């Protein structure tokens, strides 16, 4: 679709500002009720979803054109979908999809920012969003004696993702994840140096053709390897393969699971036993790509009709994605089953969770904004008395660690894989 397809939504936005907050029925603490990091940080209405609807309409009707301030509003956004959840709690319009199409339009017209162009250049040269050498992609797994699916067969493909593959500080997490599967007797393998980016970050930046390309390449990997299930510890890879590939009509045709889903399955089957106590008070941060953005895609091919000059009717009726269908319960179930852990919730959780700051290309282009967003989440974790913030995404872990380096806070940052490994 293109931005023209969302003109009805632009006209129906009432400028109510609901998109700036989490849904009011979820207010639990007045210090933590904001939902959109962009407008919370930059304050002007233009940075909110409502402001972007207004800007897009002006752009579509030729009243404004590209400018530095236009691109500032488009790209200073985590694409985290908080506004989408809040907006749809009062009316059925699509702020996140409009923002995606705005970015695609900017890329098509050559209106890109240097930091994002550099990411794409590295991706196209080395098949990863960090621009690191393709030949080093599998170094994280050295010494683990795991099947190489470029030469062998296995039922499960463990897809590490770009960040886990190249960030050495994160290697213990991705290695622990694979070790847990192997020790549970899972027939698992990796692609090693032949693994490549899922294309999800490129799509977030507006480069749709790159998503198409990597979806096709992963379809070839699935066909050649014969795997039945793809398990990934990366929330963004999970959301891309499960949701975005479906969105563009390129489903992989195999089971796509985040590692929390697979670990939960193994725990319930008794193949992983959580025996050791982990004496820690923790809270859980819902990664956007595992939570609201991971809700299954809903295809709709119908017609929008304006009735009585104002109401929009969908024929056939359209089912909207409201963020409730993400992976929320499973990580919490795992945490609650670990002996010795004390679990406390933050104020903004599940579909109303606050972003870590790592999404939408903000980390690459506006690192100060990314850190600001992460610090806000750390502040919330501290407000509920947690000693550690647990997540299930490499970007979340990295962003929180970066924020703590700046603030000097002593809160621990853990991936749920680390907790499970400590308990077995």
User: How far, in Å, CA of 373 to CA of 398, rounded?
Assistant: 13
Q: Which of 131, 324, 165, 334 is nearest to 236 (CA)?
A: 165
CB atoms within 10 A of CB 51: 20
Tell me the helices (H) and strands (E) count for the chain, helix number first. Answer: 19, 11
Residue 1 has pLDDT above 80, yes or no: no
Phi, psi of 167 (to 5 degrees): -85, 105
* Helix, strand, coil share of the chain (percent; to 5): 50, 10, 40
Q: Look at residue 308 in the predicted model and tell me its pLDDT.
A: 84
Q: Are 265 and 272 in contact (CB under 8 A)?
A: no
Residue 379 has pLDDT above 90, yes or no: yes
Q: What does pTM read for this prediction?
A: 0.97
At 4, the pLDDT band (50, 70, 90 cuts) reads very high
Which domains are present in the chain? Answer: 1-111 (no CATH), 114-268 (3.40.50), 273-291+326-424 (3.40.50.11810)
Tell me the angle at which helices 68-75 and 95-108 cross, rounded to the nearest 10 degrees: 130
Q: Are 370 and 407 in contact (CB under 8 A)?
A: no
Tell me: the pLDDT tens digits for 47-104? 999 999 999 999 999 999 999 999 999 999 999 999 999 999 999 999 999 999 999 9
Residue 408 has pLDDT above 80, yes or no: yes
CB atoms within 10 A of CB 363: 24
CA 140, 233, 22, 54: dihedral to nearest 10 degrees? 70
User: How far, in Å, CA of 293 to CA of 66, rounded?
Assistant: 28
Sheet holding 280-284, edge to edge: 341-343, 280-284, 388-391, 412-415
Q: Which of 169, 137, 163 is nearest to 150 (CA)?
A: 137
Going by the DSSP 8-state scheme, the letter that residue 130 receives in this structure is T
Q: Look at residue 310 in the predicted model and tell me its pLDDT.
A: 76
Both tokens of 196, joined, read: 């490549």
Residue 289 has pLDDT above 90, yes or no: yes
Which single residue is written with the structure tokens 């806070």? Answer: 409
Q: Look at residue 312 in the predicted model and tell me its pLDDT.
A: 87
């Amino acid at each position: 679709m293109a931005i023209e397809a969302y003109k009805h939504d632009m006209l129906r936005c009432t400028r109510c500002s609901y998109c700036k907050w989490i849904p009011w029925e979820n207010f639990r603490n007045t210090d933590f009720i904001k939902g959109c990091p962009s407008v919370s940080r930059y304050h002007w209405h233009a940075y909110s979803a409502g402001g972007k609807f207004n800007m897009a309409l002006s752009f579509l009707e030729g009243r404004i054109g590209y400018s530095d301030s236009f691109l500032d509003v488009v790209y200073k956004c985590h694409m985290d979908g908080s506004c989408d959840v809040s907006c749809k709690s009062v009316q059925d319009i699509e702020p996140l999809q409009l923002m995606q199409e705005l970015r695609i339009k900017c890329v098509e017209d050559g209106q890109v920012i240097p930091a994002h162009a550099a990411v794409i250049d590295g991706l196209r040269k080395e098949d990863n969003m960090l621009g690191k050498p393709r030949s080093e992609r599998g170094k994280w797994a050295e010494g683990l004696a795991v099947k190489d699916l470029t030469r062998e067969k296995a039922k499960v493909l463990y897809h590490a993702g770009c960040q886990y593959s190249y960030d050495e500080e994160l290697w213990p997490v991705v290695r622990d994840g694979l070790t847990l599967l192997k020790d549970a007797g899972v027939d698992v393998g990796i692609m090693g140096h032949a693994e490549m980016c899922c294309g999800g970050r490129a799509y977030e930046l507006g480069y749709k053709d790159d998503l198409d390309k990597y979806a096709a390449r992963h379809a070839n990997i699935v066909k050649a390897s014969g795997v039945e299930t793809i398990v990934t510890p990366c929330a963004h890879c999970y959301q891309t393969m499960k949701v975005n590939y479906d969105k563009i009509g390129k489903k992989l045709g195999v089971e796509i699971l985040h590692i929390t889903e697979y670990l939960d399955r193994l725990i319930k089957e008794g193949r992983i036993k959580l025996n050791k106590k982990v004496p820690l008070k923790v809270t859980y941060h819902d990664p956007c790509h595992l939570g609201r953005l991971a809700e299954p895609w809903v295809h709709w091919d119908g017609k929008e009709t304006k009735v009585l000059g104002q109401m929009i009717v969908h024929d056939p009726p359209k089912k909207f994605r409201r963020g409730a269908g993400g992976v929320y319960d499973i990580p919490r179930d795992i945490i609650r089953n670990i002996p010795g852990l004390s679990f406390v919730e933050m104020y903004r959780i599940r579909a109303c969770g606050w972003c870590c700051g790592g999404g939408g290309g903000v980390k690459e282009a506006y690192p100060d904004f990314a850190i600001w967003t992460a610090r806000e989440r750390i502040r919330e974790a501290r407000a509920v008395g947690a000693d550690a913030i647990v997540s299930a995404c490499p970007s979340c872990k990295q962003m929180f660690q970066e924020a703590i380096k700046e603030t000097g806070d002593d809160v621990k940052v853990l991936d749920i894989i680390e907790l499970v490994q400590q308990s077995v």
